[in-house]
Amino acid sequence: MDTFSRDELRTLLNENAALSVSMFLPTHRSAAESRQDQIALKNLLREAREQLVARGLREAAASRFLAPAHELEVNSAFWRAPSDGLAIFLTENAMRQYRVPLTLPSLVFTGQRFYIKPLLPLLESDNVFYILAFSQNELRLLRATRYQVSEMDVGDCPRSLDEALRGEELTKQLQYRTFNSGGQPVTIYHGQGARVDAKKDLIRRYLHRVDLALRPLLGNERAPLVLAADESLFPIYREVNTYPHLAAEGIAGNPEGINPEDLHKSALEIVEPEFQPEREEAVARFERLAGTALTSSDLPHIVRAAYQGRVAVLFVPNEQEQWGIFDPDSDTVTVHQERQPDDDGLIDLAAFYTLKFNGTTYAGESPLAAIFRC
């Protein structure tokens, strides 16, 4: 399992296990450096075993707990397709792993919940968009976020002009007459540019069928859809399009042979301005409410509020963590200057419960801050 989505996050948030392990490590895209990454994982597994033993597991039980990750460590096929980071989540009965296009910290966390803070940039504000890359010979639909892109199964959507209009010939779309000239048959098409018009009509019909097939795939989405196609096809698709969030700008040029990552990079430049206002609006809202009971930058206050489901928006600093202990029974937060064996990541804890109660997180360089629900 690789693609990390909000659905995957929801699974992690809802995991109910007495003990869990979260591991993160930066990896290299070069296969030549995969051995280095395997060694890094081996070292993290050693640290994870020490943490499990410190929590009361016997050595043999800790080894069984981590066995699936050890299998991953020595799986040479797995390391042939690396990304920028690897996240592994383990319980006694299951393991989930995600190769992500994001440089992750080297970190091991054991506790009664999963540690999710390093992956938050992948999920910021549900910034999903789609790329429809098509030509007369090929069609792909890509689902993307700021950091990830993957090709979708388009089901019954026609993947080419021939597939959409199989059995139809261009000449069947034209009105013409034939006469002899010097013993040779000559065909005259009625109307200036009739062949060009007929070809456009075929393409229009093809793209109309594409639009129909995409409706159930996109459903009630509000995410932008970016076209990647020869520029001459843009106006034809816009004529037949019924998806209300088609981006005004597209990626011009035949997309055949262009890999998803390059299409993603070009499309992100187009949709980025549409996503920024959400964060900017949240920042402006915090500034308007600053100094009232509806905002706070105090970590213990934020942790308690998040656990109670009262945090609507949380600004999470990427490079910062504060270790300590939260006791929900007494509603007390103890902050430690140095990480202790039984410590929780308090900023991560605040993010965990903010998301569990359907709040929004923004990961970045800004300091920890929260907007509370009214």
* Number of domains observed in the structure of the chain: 3
pTM for the predicted model, two decimal places: 0.69
As a whole number of angstroms, the distance between CA 203 and CA 240 comes to 11
Q: Tell me, what amino acid is at 124? A: E
Q: Is residue 157 helix, strand or coil?
A: coil
- Name, in order, each residue with C-beta under 8 angstroms of 80's C-beta and a sequence gap of 6 or more: 31, 34
Here the tokens at position 294 are 């509806």
In which element (H, E) is residue 181 found? Answer: strand 176-181
What is the CATH classification number for the domain harbouring 130?
A: 3.30.420
Segment 51-89, tens digit of pLDDT: 999 999 999 999 999 999 999 999 988 888 778 899 999
Q: Are residues 215 and 344 in the same domain?
A: no
Percent over 70 (pLDDT), the chain: 90
- 30 CB neighbour count, 10 Å cutoff: 10
Q: What is the pLDDT of residues 97-140, one digit of tens each?
A: 998 888 899 999 999 999 999 999 887 645 789 999 999 899 99
CA atoms of 207 and 202, how far apart (whole Å): 9
* Rounded (10°) CA dihedral 285, 289, 295, 296: 100
Q: Is 143 helix (H, G, I), strand (E, B) or coil?
A: strand
Ordered strands of the 295-296 beta sheet: 295-296, 369-372, 311-317, 360-364
Q: Do 8 and 105 have their domain in common?
A: yes
Which of 82, 108, 91, 71 is closest to 11 using CA atoms?
A: 91
Burial of 243 (0-12, 13-18, 19+ CB in 10 A): middle
164 and 107 inside one domain: no
Are both 148 and 107 inside the same structural domain?
no
Domain ranges, residue 225: 126-274
Residues 233 and 359 in one domain: no
Q: Closest by alpha carbon to 251, among 240, 235, 263?
A: 263
Residue 177 has pLDDT above 60, yes or no: no
Query: Do 100 and 148 sit in the same domain of this protein?
Result: no
Residue 68 belongs to a domain with what CATH number? 3.30.960.10
The residue length of the chain stands at: 374
